[in-house]
């Protein structure tokens, strides 16, 4: 099976998946599925999903999966990983879970360099609850709770999560931002994030820029334009912290 | 004498204790020895007074017995890390108090929904708000009904260090047998007080500590060799939730009669029953003994499990005696549980006197005085109309 079709680690019985048409979650989970396939680690993976749209991934994979509470996926996976270090822990959440209600967990797990992979899907909104402002909503973005558009005086500036994490990421951490507009690249980032955990080097925090046409109220063209232009301008793609960057030989092996 | 450990589980259960050991120690230290003896593998905790010494002793003893410890960023993360560790197959626990017990409601409710055998020790402090770091019995309702749900938990209320040891071990046994979150409801006095206790290996006493079981990270490639383990707590429609929840509620009610425990005494010819739980139960027991020595017909009843409440037992006791005095370091939390347990019919034929001291300790002398006043007819205008 080529990487372009359904990843082996996907559960065919639960496809087509439950996300809205045009939602980016399916693409992030495809990128993750391909990374898990390439590393052949399905037996060791513990996939934890948050509450919000990410909760719909609870039966998405042929991977042992636990749906936790809103913002609590990081400490849940930390507990499992600490207790059973042979597991490969993945904490999957949205920007609300990662950067608002659960940000203390993200910050402290990074400080402790927990050997887990944290994936934060940034679609600039609280989608499951009906399109409220997220920490990541762009300036001027109209949401249900910023009907006049996000104002920096009132609601502050959008949070650049990976940059925040990178500012204090310890030795061995891996921090990157990918996008569902570049699935292969995102998948390589995720593979590196998993690889980093397999090598017991440190935490991996990967943000995936994603789409929400339902709440953005955009058509296909405008959805993609918002993702590739507005969002990517404010949230630049790339690896912010990478143990591979210090080692030329390894850089060759996993070429992006 | 020394058997080589065969499994990780076996290793954990073997080395902490051999035979019985008499000790003189703090309540928080008792909790740690009980958890070690029960084979607890990991403590995830966050500092809050008066339970801090649980973490202090555990972090020193854990490496010696191959156990794990992590100080987390808050009680939410402590609770969810406990859940993650348990689902991965390790016997994990935590301890907290006051505002920490509030934050623990979130992981406790997930444990109720997903049948995760979580053990939490609560050393009550004053409330509401930050209040005092010292003592109260004000976390009764919080430990029982604090979550968004139905209070599907087991709550033990120990009345001595020996019971703190026995019931903490039992909490692990109960949690892993019945798969409901199980709490040990102590208090700051018990946590910080020293008294004698006999430590033992629970297996030598025939206590069945069920083996742990991983709910994830199972053997074989998921989707190839076996079905993947998929666990959820969110449901799409009301009927879907009801279908999942109903059997859990039924299981809880089925288990309740075999879980509930109580202590009672001096019930012969009794004219006033004094009811208290936890450390207040000690004052009550002493008071009742003292009154009986003077031939004053007073007895006592002490629920050891606050959830499930020993409702049949208290009904039996109150059928024979129509007056009861409820004594607690809270404004009627135990009294409300009693009212629920005895139901409407019995309530109308009873006179309930109350002695509520929210956040204050209660001595045997106070109980003696109060019981005498009731029996002398000095409390008639307060009976049954106490502010609950």
Spatial separation of the C-alpha atoms in residues A255 and A33, rounded to whole Å: 19
Task: Give the domain extent around A214.
Answer: 12-253
Interface test with B, best of A79, A87, A109 (most B CBs within 10 A): A79
Q: B384 pLDDT exceeds 80?
A: no
Count of positions (residues) in chain A: 256
Tens-place pLDDT, residues B27-71? 999 999 999 999 999 999 999 999 999 999 999 999 999 999 999
A5 is a domain residue: no
Q: Is the peptide bond before B308 cis (omega within 30 degrees of 0)?
A: yes
Give the closest of B214, B224, B232 to A67, CB-based: B232
Q: Tell whether A116 is covered by a domain.
A: yes
Which pLDDT does position A4 carry in this prediction?
A: 52
Which residues, at least 6 apart from A88, have a Cβ–Cβ distance to it below 8 Å?
A: A41, A44, A45, A46, A117, A194, A197, A198
Say which range, B72-81, B269-278, B283-292, B315-324, has the weakest mean pLDDT: B315-324
Q: Is the pLDDT of residue B380 over 90?
A: no
Label residue B5 by pLDDT band (50, 70, 90). Answer: very low
Whole-angstrom Cα distance, residue B169 to residue B108?
Answer: 19
Q: Which residues of A100-128 are buried (b: 16+ CB within 10 A; e: fewer)?
A: bbbbbbbebbbebebbbbbbbbbbbbbbb
Residue A190 falls inside a structural domain: yes
A178, part of any domain: yes
Residue B41: name the closest of B5, B87, B91, B111 by CA: B91
- Cα(B247)–Cα(B228) distance, rounded to whole angstroms? 23
**Position A168 in a domain:** yes
The pLDDT assigned to A250 comes to 56
Residues B193-210: what's their mean pLDDT? Answer: 94
Query: Does A54 fall in a domain?
Result: yes
Stated as kind and residue range, the H or E segment containing A106 is helix A103-111
pLDDT for residue A253 is more than 70: no
Say which of A62, A64, A72 has its CB closest to residue B80. Answer: A72
Question: For residue A234, what pLDDT is reported?
Answer: 98
Q: What is the DSSP letter of A150?
A: -
Tokens representing A130 are 């009906």
pLDDT digits (tens, 9 = 90+) for A216-241: 999 999 999 999 999 999 999 999 99
Task: Find which of B77, B84, B120 to mutate to test the A interface (most A CBs within 10 Å of its CB).
Answer: B84
| Amino acid B18: pLDDT | 76
Asked if the Cβ–Cβ distance from B88 to A79 is below 8 Å, we say: yes
Nearest CA distance, B94 vs chain A (angstrom): 12
* Residue B4 pLDDT exceeds 50: no
**ipTM attached to this prediction:** 0.95
Distance separating alpha carbons of residues B18 and B29, to the nearest angstrom: 18
Higher pLDDT, B120 or B345: B120
Please, what is the average pLDDT of chain B?
A: 93
User: What's the confidence (pLDDT) of residue B349?
Assistant: 79
Cis ω before B50 (30° cut-off from 0): yes
Q: Is the pLDDT of residue B8 over 70?
A: no
Per DSSP, helices labelled H in chain B are 8-14, 27-37, 52-61, 75-87, 99-114, 140-145, 161-178, 188-192, 238-259, 278-293, 311-320, 333-348, 364-375
CA nearest to B44 within chain A: A79
Given a cut of 60, whether residue A251 has pLDDT beyond it is no
pLDDT at A40 > cutoff 90: yes
Q: What is the pLDDT of residues B301-314, one digit of tens each?
A: 999 999 999 999 99
Which pLDDT belongs to residue A123? 98
Residue-wise pLDDT tens digits, B254-274? 999 999 999 999 999 999 999
Q: How confident is the model at residue B343 (pLDDT cuts 50, 70, 90)?
A: confident
Residue-wise pLDDT tens digits, A127-139: 999 999 999 999 9
Q: What is the pLDDT of residue B267?
A: 96
Question: What is the number of alpha carbons within 13 Å of residue B193 lying toward its C-beta?
Answer: 17
User: Is the per-residue pLDDT at A246 higher than 80?
Assistant: no
pLDDT of A3: 47
Q: Is B221 a residue whose pLDDT tops 50?
A: yes
The domains located in chain B, with CATH, are 8-205 (3.40.50.970), 263-382 (3.40.50.920)
Give the model confidence (pLDDT) of B93-139 as tens digits: 999 999 999 999 999 999 999 999 999 999 999 999 999 999 999 99
- pLDDT at residue B322, rounded to an integer: 87
Residue B1 in this model has a pLDDT that exceeds 50: no
CATH number of the domain within which A176 lies: 3.40.50.970
Q: What is the pLDDT of residue B10?
A: 47
Average pLDDT over residues A95-102: 98
Does A3 fall in a domain?
no
CB contact under 8 A, B72 and A9: no
Residue with tokens 């990270």: B217
Rounded to a whole number of angstroms, the distance from the CA of A77 to the nearest CA of chain B is: 6
How many domains does chain A contain in total?
1
Separation of first and last alpha carbons in chain B: 56
Per-residue b/e over B53-75, b at no fewer than 16 CB within 10 Å? bbbbbbbebbeebebbbbebbbb
Q: Looking up tokens 């429609």, which residue turns up?
A: B237
- pLDDT of B12 reads 52
Instruction: Flag if B228 and A87 touch (Cβ within 8 Å).
Output: no
Q: In this structure, are residues A150 and A159 in contact, taking their beta carbons and an 8 Å threshold?
A: no
Q: Picking from A60-74, A171-185, B330-344, which range would have the lowest pLDDT averaged per residue?
A: B330-344
Predicted local confidence at residue B17, as pLDDT: 72
Structure tokens at B301: 């009843």
Residues of B in contact with A87 (CB under 8 A): 88, 216-217
Arithmetic mean of pLDDT, B162-172: 98
* Predicted confidence (pLDDT) per residue in B366-375, tens digit: 999 999 999 9
pLDDT in tens, A3-30: 458 999 999 999 999 999 999 999 999 9
Residue A151 covered by a domain? yes
Average pLDDT of chain A to the nearest whole number: 95
């Amino acid at each position: 099976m080529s990487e372009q079709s359904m990843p082996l680690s996907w559960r065919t019985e639960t496809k087509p998946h439950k996300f809205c048409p045009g939602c980016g979650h399916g693409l992030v989970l495809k990128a993750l599925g391909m990374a898990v396939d390439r590393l052949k680690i399905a037996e060791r993976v513990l996939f934890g999903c948050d509450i919000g749209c990410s909760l719909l991934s609870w039966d998405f994979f042929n991977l042992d999966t636990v749906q936790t509470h809103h913002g609590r996926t990081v400490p849940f996976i930390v507990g499992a990983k600490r207790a059973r270090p042979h597991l490969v822990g993945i904490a999957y959440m949205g920007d609300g879970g990662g950067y608002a209600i659960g940000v203390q967990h993200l910050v402290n797990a990074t400080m402790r360099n927990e050997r887990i992979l944290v994936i934060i899907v940034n679609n600039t909104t609280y989608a499951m609850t009906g399109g409220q402002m997220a920490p990541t909503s762009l300036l001027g973005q109209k949401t249900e709770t910023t009907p006049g558009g996000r104002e920096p005086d009132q609601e502050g500036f959008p949070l650049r999560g990976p940059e925040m994490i990178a500012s204090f990421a310890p030795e061995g951490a891996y921090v990157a931002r990918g996008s569902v507009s570049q699935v292969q690249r995102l998948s390589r980032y995720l593979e590196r994030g998993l690889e980093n955990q397999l090598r017991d080097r440190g935490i991996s925090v990967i943000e995936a820029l994603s789409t929400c046409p339902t709440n953005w109220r955009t058509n296909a063209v405008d959805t993609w334009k918002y993702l590739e232009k507005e969002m990517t301008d404010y949230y630049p793609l790339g690896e912010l912290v990478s143990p591979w960057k210090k080692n030329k030989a390894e850089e060759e092996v996993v070429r992006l | 004498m020394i058997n080589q450990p065969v499994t990780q589980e076996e290793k954990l259960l073997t080395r902490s204790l051999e035979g019985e050991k008499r000790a003189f120690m703090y309540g928080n230290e008792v909790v740690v020895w009980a958890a070690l003896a029960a084979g607890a593998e990991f403590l995830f905790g966050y500092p809050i007074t008066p339970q801090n010494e649980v973490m202090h002793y555990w972090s020193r003893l854990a490496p010696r017995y191959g156990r794990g410890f992590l100080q987390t960023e808050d009680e939410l993360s402590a609770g969810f890390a406990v859940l993650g560790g348990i689902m991965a197959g390790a016997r994990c626990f935590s301890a907290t108090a006051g505002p920490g017990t509030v934050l623990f409601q979130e992981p406790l409710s997930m444990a109720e929904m997903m049948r995760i055998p979580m053990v939490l020790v609560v050393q009550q402090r004053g409330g509401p708000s930050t209040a005092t770091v010292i003592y109260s019995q004000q976390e009764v309702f919080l430990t029982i009904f604090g979550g968004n749900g139905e209070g599907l938990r087991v709550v033990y209320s120990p009345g001595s260090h020996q019971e703190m040891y026995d019931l903490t071990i039992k909490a692990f046994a109960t949690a892993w047998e019945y798969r409901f979150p199980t709490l040990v409801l102590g208090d700051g006095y018990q946590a910080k007080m020293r008294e004698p206790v006999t430590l033992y290996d629970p297996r030598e006493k025939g206590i069945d500590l069920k083996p742990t079981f991983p709910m994830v990270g199972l053997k074989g490639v998921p989707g190839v060799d076996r079905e993947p383990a998929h666990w959820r707590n969110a449901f799409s429609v009301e009927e879907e939730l009801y279908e999942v929840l109903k059997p859990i509620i039924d299981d809880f009610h089925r288990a309740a009669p075999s879980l509930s425990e109580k202590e009672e005494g001096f019930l012969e010819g009794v004219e006033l029953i004094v009811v208290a739980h936890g450390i207040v139960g000690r004052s009550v027991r002493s008071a009742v003994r003292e009154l009986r020595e003077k031939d004053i017909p007073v007895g006592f009843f002490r629920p050891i499990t606050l959830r499930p409440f020993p409702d049949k037992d208290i009904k039996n006791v109150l059928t024979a005696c129509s007056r009861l005095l409820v004594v607690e370091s809270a404004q009627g939390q135990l009294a409300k549980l009693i009212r629920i347990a005895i139901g409407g019919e019995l309530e109308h034929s009873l006179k309930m006197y109350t002695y509520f001291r929210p956040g204050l300790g209660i001595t045997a002398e106070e109980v003696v005085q109060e019981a005498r006043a009731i029996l002398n007819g000095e409390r008639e205008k307060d009976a049954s109309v106490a502010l609950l």
